[in-house]
Amino acid sequence: MDAAQYLRKSRMEEGMDTEEVLAKHRKALAEYAAANGIHIIETYYEVVSGESLYARPEMLRLLEDVEDGKYDAVLCMDLDRLSRGRMKDQGIILDAFKDSGTLIVTPEKTYDLSDEIDDELAEFKTFMSRREYKIINKRLQRGKAQTIRDGCYVANAPYGYRKVTIDRKPTLEIVESEAAYVRMMFEMYADGYGCVAIARHINTLGAKPRRCDAFNRSTVALILKNPVYIGKVVWDRTKHVRKGARGNPKHITIQQTRDHWVIVDGLHPAIIDKELFGQVQDIMAGRYIPPANDGTIKSPLAGLVKCAVCGRNMQRMGTNTDTLYLLCNTPGCCAGAKLAFVELRILQHLQRTLAELSIETPAVRIKDTSAQEASLAVIRKEQKAADAQKSRLYDLLEMGEYDIPTFRERMAKVKDKIAALEQKEAELLLVIDQAHTADPAELARRIKAVLDAYDTSDAAHRNALLKGVIQTVWYRKKKKTAPSDFQLTIDLKYN
């Protein structure tokens, strides 16, 4: 019997190392499969723990393969690993197995959903696991609320601190090698230096942030605004809106204003004194308006313009004179420009494109994509090799060839490689798709509709209009050049 195995950490295993848990489960399922004549041909590692089905990418990939009839069965440690989310999601998962005739195999029991008794039992077990999940979640929230009130709850250790437990309470202790840079940031800002200058200076001194290669304007600004450095614990700085909750097409994270934060005295020691912290906050309040996501779109170019040098999204920045700029957060990268100049240049490009397109142009314009298709084949071959390498890493961990730190380091590199290949694959597929289905007449009609409605629209509507005809705007500008001396490469949506 050909089968896949699905590995996912359960709620009861929270706090345990994910790689260790999944390696243990993989070994147990491999032993069960060998004893029962089951041939495992694919493994799906779910390293995220989202409640929603759409927050579990490996489960979505598994369901596609199950619906295609790729496997006779799917192995998992128990039924809860497959389906413990919302009732709607549970129905989607169970229906996929039932319609395809794929068995669900656990060390405890095999479920054949074409059998009425197994089908009812699976529905009952998933219902009970969902109820158990809600009870556990409520307990966790009550416990978290209490630790917040006690001033000892810390979700993540910010730069300059590490998490510790004192008297069974989670808190922070100072990492002096990082705290020295934190003090330097506050002192330099109070002396009149900007976030970009501070980032450049501490990068040259060898400072390394936790989640990226180097400090930039945004990471410095976040540190300067964080009350944790004066011994406070902050809660509710963000809130989450689920996909579809407000008609939004995807899950969004909203940065809440300071008056919505919950700030209490923490148990951890302060790195910065309150006087210096207050001085920095006063300077920041009068110097610029930091961009923040409050659930609304304020820029017509949001998510459209990318730096052509580093590939990152250009960020909107407002000043106290209400002039908006587009800036690249990568230190030493492209120079910024006024947002209005970039917006005008994009509209002018659309006007020229509309003038060039003719309604009588043939409906389909086929381009030669043999080079792109050859590149796509190479990328998919590399993806297959990377997936095999990822699987071998787990084997080597189980055999004791790697220790946990080495495993994590090598797994991170493989994951980065896979992500880069997936990005290249998506870009090539878009080019091929546009080349084969490009309809200039339809594009002309859509561009005309955008230009006709643009002047009377607000920022959010303008953003939606532009995204209807533009895939990406690539921005490039050299340092110390004229304000309007920048170059744009605009990828249009032909279909």
Domain-ending residue, one of 96, 128, 147 = 147
Give pLDDT, residue 363: 47
Give pLDDT, residue 376: 82
Closest CA to 279 of 194, 215, 191: 191
Token pair for 473: 């705007």
Q: Are residues 157 and 142 in the same domain?
A: no
Question: Do 38 and 103 form a contact (C-beta atoms < 8 A)?
Answer: no
In a domain, 452, yes or no: no
| Residue 322, Ramachandran bin (φ over 0: left; ψ between -120 and 50: alpha; else beta) | left
DSSP single-letter state for residue 46: E
CA distances from 460 to 138, 326, 466, 475 (A): 36, 17, 10, 21
Question: Do 421 and 386 form a contact (C-beta atoms < 8 A)?
Answer: yes
Q: Are residues 140 and 154 in the same domain?
A: no
In a domain, 460, yes or no: no
In a domain, 338, yes or no: no
In a domain, 491, yes or no: no
In a domain, 25, yes or no: yes
Q: Are residues 26 and 139 in the same domain?
A: yes
Give the CATH number for residue 196. Answer: 3.90.1750.20
Range of the domain at 60: 2-147
Q: Are residues 53 and 67 in the same domain?
A: yes
Q: Are residues 179 and 135 in the same domain?
A: no
Per-residue pLDDT of the chain in tens (495 residues, 90 and over written 9): 889 999 886 655 555 666 777 888 888 898 999 999 999 998 888 866 555 666 677 888 888 899 888 999 999 988 877 776 666 777 888 888 988 999 999 998 999 988 889 888 888 887 777 777 677 666 655 555 555 555 555 557 889 998 888 777 778 899 999 999 999 999 999 998 988 889 989 999 989 888 777 888 888 988 998 899 998 887 777 776 665 555 555 666 677 777 777 777 888 899 999 999 999 998 888 765 555 555 567 788 988 999 888 888 888 876 544 678 888 877 678 888 888 899 999 999 999 888 887 644 554 444 667 777 788 888 888 888 887 787 777 766 666 666 777 777 788 788 888 888 887 887 777 777 666 555 677 788 888 888 888 888 888 888 889 988 898 899 998 888 888 889 998 888 876
Q: Which amino acid is at 281?
A: Q
Q: Are residues 132 and 178 in the same domain?
A: no
In a domain, 450, yes or no: no
Let me know if 112 is exposed, middle or buried by CB neighbors in 10 A (0-12, 13-18, 19+): middle
Alpha helices in 9-115 (DSSP H): 18-35, 57-67, 79-82, 87-100
Q: H or E stretch including 123?
A: helix 116-149
Q: Are residues 165 and 247 in the same domain?
A: yes
Question: Do 236 and 261 form a contact (C-beta atoms < 8 A)?
Answer: yes
Query: Phi then psi for 319, rounded to 5 degrees?
Result: -115, 175
Under 8 Å CB-to-CB from 36, ≥6 apart: which residues?
Answer: none
Token pair for 416: 């980065």
Give pLDDT, residue 257: 72
Q: Which amino acid is at 245?
A: A
Give pLDDT, residue 55: 65
In a domain, 258, yes or no: yes
Question: Do 126 and 79 form a contact (C-beta atoms < 8 A)?
Answer: yes
Q: Are residues 141 and 9 in the same domain?
A: yes
Token pair for 243: 């996909």
Give the CATH number for residue 76. Answer: 3.40.50.1390
Give pLDDT, residue 346: 93
Q: Are residues 214 and 266 in the same domain?
A: yes
Q: What does pTM read for this prediction? A: 0.44
Q: How many domains does the chain have?
A: 2
Give the tens place of pLDDT for each residue, 189-236.
999 898 888 998 999 998 988 877 788 888 898 899 889 999 888 777
Give pLDDT, residue 364: 46
Let me know if 74 is exposed, middle or buried by CB neighbors in 10 A (0-12, 13-18, 19+): buried
Q: Are residues 79 and 155 in the same domain?
A: no
In a domain, 395, yes or no: no
Q: Are residues 192 and 244 in the same domain?
A: yes
Domain-ending residue, one of 288, 321, 350 = 288
Closest CA to 284 of 331, 329, 254, 317: 317
Give pLDDT, residue 428: 78
DSSP single-letter state for residue 250: S
Token pair for 449: 């509709």
Cα(428)–Cα(264) distance, integer angstroms: 50
CB under 8 Å, gap of 24 or more: what pairs does 59-63 form? 59/6, 59/8, 59/93, 62/4, 62/6, 63/92, 63/93, 63/96
Q: Are residues 261 and 219 in the same domain?
A: yes
Closest CA to 153 of 87, 36, 232: 232
Domain-ending residue, one of 262, 288, 314 = 288
Tokens 């219902």 -> residue: 127
Give the tens place of pLDDT for each residue, 335-362.
888 888 999 999 999 998 888 876 445 5
| Residue 463, Ramachandran bin (φ over 0: left; ψ between -120 and 50: alpha; else beta) | alpha
